[in-house]
Amino acid sequence: MLKQRIITGLFILFITIGVILFSHVEWFLCGVIAILSVMSITELYKATGMKTKGKNITYIITCLGAVLFSYITVPDYEYFTIILFTGVSVLFMFLMKQVKRNMTLKPWMTIVIAVAIVSFYKTMHMIRGMDGGLYYLLFAIAISMLTDVMAFCVGKCIGKHRLALNISPKKTIEGSVGGALLAVVICMIIAYILQRNGLIEVHYGVLFGYLILASVVGQFGDLAFSAVKRIAGVKDYSNLLPGHGGVLDRCDSLILVLPFTWLFNLRRVPIIVL
């Protein structure tokens, strides 16, 4: 199982590097956003029972809307993102508290989460369009992936105290804290290497603050989508990625880190100076 997980993880890493390298090609990045959106909606709707014969029209409309939304420009998108980010975070916190109460996901909840998924994936395009967008996108993806990997490793080695037993039984407090710290350190080293090679200038204090917060946001996203799985009664969103589950299982933390990264870097003090 571990061997399969590593092989699939390397495949995911290879694909991710390719996406980052070609993210400057607008039609390509929009296509990636559309594909991720449709795949994630499919997994979400199937897990929650929304992708059934009687509700297929909702699924079809959502997917078509997701593809269209991936390619259009939305004015004042930051305000919409702030409102949606706040609203869906509140919804996720509510769902996380309801895991033990045998509740069922209402259709409107699933639709709101689907809209958030599509909208937050779209911020990849917004991030890439910023000055230094390539590096912001790199750090957003890196902190999400590294936190997940490091938390798994630290939890396996020294994890004793459960972080959220009812939501994700294998996650530990030691893994969460240790994973975040190691991920931040690795990202800081990456930033230092990039600066030493004259590619960017880094405000390390701002970068450190961003990485800590992004790691926390990513772990919240991980737990939030795990809570949805528990309520829906499924172990994984799909078996598309052997050893890892589905697209949503791999992108759960990134889905929230992306809009957070974009909104954080709308500040007047940038992390990166080219």
pLDDT digits (tens, 9 = 90+) for 19-50: 999 999 999 999 999 999 999 999 999 999 88
> Which residue(s) pair with 162 in the sheet?
172
Domain spans in the chain, listed from the N-terminal domain onward? 2-273
In this structure, the number of other CB atoms found within 10 A of the CB of residue 30 comes to 18
CA distance 89 to 223: 11
User: Is residue 270 a contact partner of residue 131, using CB atoms and an 8 Å limit?
Assistant: yes
- How confident is the model at residue 268, as a pLDDT? 64
Cβ atoms 213, 264 nearer than 8 A: yes
C-alpha neighbours within 13 Å on the C-beta side of residue 163: 22
pLDDT at 1: 64
pLDDT digits (tens, 9 = 90+) for 176-235: 999 999 999 999 999 999 999 999 999 999 999 999 999 999 999 999 999 999 999 999
Q: Where are the beta strands (DSSP E) in the chain?
A: 162-164, 168-172, 201-202, 272-273
Global pTM reads 0.95
Backbone conformation region of residue 234, classed left if phi is above 0, alpha if psi is from -120 to 50, else beta: beta
Distance (Å, whole) CA 254 – CA 258: 6
- CA gap 265, 262 in Å, rounded: 5
